[in-house]
């Protein structure tokens, strides 16, 4: 009987192990990607695309920390993205090109903006919180468009990527890819530690019932504000990386549409799952990149005019496709994996 029980329990254990290994598989895939890029003969394109995926994965993960675990729907999260990017660009334009100075300054600016705006925004709830974060984000966007010395509406091209301890090593695409992966892994490890800690448990408890948490001696406002500041700093780091990856900064980095994209990435991957946010960012960006080619190849039976129009206006397919995924794949991609595990 014991042997039979072991045999029956073994198949159930294997899917559990596979599900728990998802984060390891994600980072292993990122680590293996440079070798694939070299073998493919299109290393510049592959590295650029995957670096962008990791940067947006970091930004989405920072939002998931407050959205998935704190139920704080911020529609101005891209503002921190922009603060990080402009921190790099503004300092570089004044001759301060080392990332060891740029990143701490950008993180400090992100933390300060999050502290001030969060202290105001968190005194509201629900749709009022959404609207006030949107207002703060738009305020920063219009401030960026008015910065004529730094490109204004047109943005500003960076002469070179940031130095690292005086070295230009980040100019190498492989080195920059690995630096981005290290930042993503460090942010993920920090976020996991926060979520698993007492702080994370209080944050989740506040999401469920703030009044009850206050009744047992916790102050939800302080925990939410701390999470908001940490989240803003992580998004600021993503902005630093994006400025270096694109070698360009623009007010477009902090539009409300960009904030909406980050929310879509989090929901697509699965709320309250840090690695789900990375998967959601990857799915969003890869669909955005390859959907026109897929539509072109899949519409071979249509006449050339309709085929061209469908490929040219691929966003008309992209938007409804994302909405259908969010509506019918409950819990996002991670929810789909969980159901497969339990099945």
Report percent pLDDT > 70 for the chain. Answer: 90
Task: Please name every residue paired with 167 in a beta bridge, in sequence order, or none if there are none.
Answer: 164
Which residues, 6 or more positions from 12, have their beta carbon under 8 angstroms from its beta carbon? none
Q: Which of the 8 DSSP states describes residue 68?
A: T
For residue 325, the model assigns a pLDDT of 77
pLDDT band at 178 (very low <50, low <70, confident <90, very high): very high
What integer is the mean pLDDT of 143-170? Answer: 92
Tokens for 208?
Answer: 């469920």
Domain that includes residue 178, residue range: 13-342
What integer is the mean pLDDT of 142-152? Answer: 92
For residue 116, the model assigns a pLDDT of 96
The reply to whether 270 falls in a domain is yes
The reply to whether 208 falls in a domain is yes
Which residues, 6 or more positions from 48, have their beta carbon under 8 angstroms from its beta carbon? 173, 245
**Separation of alpha carbons 78 and 228, rounded Å:** 13
pLDDT band at 297 (very low <50, low <70, confident <90, very high): confident
For residue 319, the model assigns a pLDDT of 80
Q: How confident is the model over 37-69, as pLDDT tens digits?
A: 887 777 888 999 999 999 999 999 999 999 999
The reply to whether 142 falls in a domain is yes
Task: Please name every residue paired with 156 in a beta bridge, in sequence order, or none if there are none.
Answer: 249
What is the helix (H) or strand (E) element at residue 86, kind and residue range? helix 78-93
User: Is residue 271 pLDDT above 70, yes or no?
Assistant: yes
pLDDT band at 232 (very low <50, low <70, confident <90, very high): very high
Q: Name the domain count of the chain.
A: 1
For residue 19, the model assigns a pLDDT of 57
User: Is residue 230 pLDDT above 60, yes or no?
Assistant: yes
The CATH number of the domain holding residue 180 is 1.10.3470
Q: Which residue has the higher pLDDT, 317 or 13?
A: 317
The reply to whether 6 falls in a domain is no
* 153-162, 207-216, 229-238, 279-288: least confident range: 207-216
For residue 18, the model assigns a pLDDT of 55
Q: Which residue has the higher pLDDT, 66 or 327?
A: 66
pLDDT band at 208 (very low <50, low <70, confident <90, very high): confident
pLDDT band at 11 (very low <50, low <70, confident <90, very high): very low
What integer is the mean pLDDT of 111-129? Answer: 94
Tokens for 319?
Answer: 């938007």
Q: In residues, how long is the chain?
A: 343
The reply to whether 7 falls in a domain is no
**Separation of alpha carbons 128 and 235, rounded Å:** 22
The reply to whether 121 falls in a domain is yes
- The overall average pLDDT reported for the chain is 87
Beta strands in the chain (DSSP E): 156-157, 248-249
The reply to whether 181 falls in a domain is yes
Q: Which residue has the higher pLDDT, 184 or 1?
A: 184
212 in Cβ contact with 226 (< 8 Å) = no
Which residues, 6 or more positions from 178, have their beta carbon under 8 angstroms from its beta carbon? 34
For residue 339, the model assigns a pLDDT of 67
pLDDT band at 332 (very low <50, low <70, confident <90, very high): confident
The reply to whether 105 falls in a domain is yes
User: Is residue 313 pLDDT above 90, yes or no?
Assistant: no
67 in Cβ contact with 266 (< 8 Å) = yes
User: Is residue 105 pLDDT above 70, yes or no?
Assistant: yes
- CA 147: distance to chain centroid? 26
For residue 300, the model assigns a pLDDT of 66
Task: Please name every residue paired with 98 in a beta bridge, in sequence order, or none if there are none.
Answer: 163
């Amino acid at each position: 009987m014991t042997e039979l029980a072991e045999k029956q329990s073994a198949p159930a254990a294997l899917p559990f192990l596979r599900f728990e290994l998802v984060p390891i598989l994600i980072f292993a895939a990122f680590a293996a990607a440079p070798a694939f890029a070299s073998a493919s003969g299109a290393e510049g394109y592959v590295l650029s695309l995957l670096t962008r995926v990791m940067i947006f994965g970091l930004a989405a993960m920072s939002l998931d920390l407050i959205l998935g675990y704190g139920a704080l729907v911020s529609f101005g999260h891209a503002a921190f993205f922009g603060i990080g990017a402009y921190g790099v660009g503004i300092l570089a334009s004044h001759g301060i090109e080392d990332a060891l100075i740029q990143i701490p300054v950008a993180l400090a600016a992100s933390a300060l903006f999050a502290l001030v705006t969060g202290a105001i925004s968190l005194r509201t709830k629900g749709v009022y919180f959404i609207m006030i974060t949107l207002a703060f984000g738009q305020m920063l966007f219009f401030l960026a468009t008015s910065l004529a010395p730094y490109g204004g509406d047109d943005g500003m091209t960076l002469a070179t990527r940031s130095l690292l301890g005086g070295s230009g090593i980040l100019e190498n695409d492989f080195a920059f890819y690995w630096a981005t992966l290290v930042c993503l892994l460090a942010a993920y490890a920090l976020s996991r530690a926060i979520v698993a800690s007492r702080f994370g448990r209080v944050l989740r408890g506040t999401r469920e019932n703030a009044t009850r948490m206050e009744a047992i001696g916790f102050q939800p406002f302080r925990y939410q504000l701390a999470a908001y500041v940490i989240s803003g700093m992580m998004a600021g780091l993503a902005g630093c990386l994006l400025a270096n990856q694109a070698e360009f900064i623009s007010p477009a980095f902090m539009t409300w549409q960009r904030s909406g994209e980050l929310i879509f990435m989090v929901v697509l991957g699965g709320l309250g799952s840090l690695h789900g946010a990375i998967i959601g960012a990857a799915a969003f960006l890869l669909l955005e990149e390859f959907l026109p080619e897929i539509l072109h190849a899949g519409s071979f039976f249509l006449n050339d005019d309709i085929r061209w129009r469908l490929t040219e206006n691929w966003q008309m397919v992209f938007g409804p496709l994302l909405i259908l995924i969010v509506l019918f794949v409950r819990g996002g991609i991670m929810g789909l994996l969980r159901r497969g595990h339990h099945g």
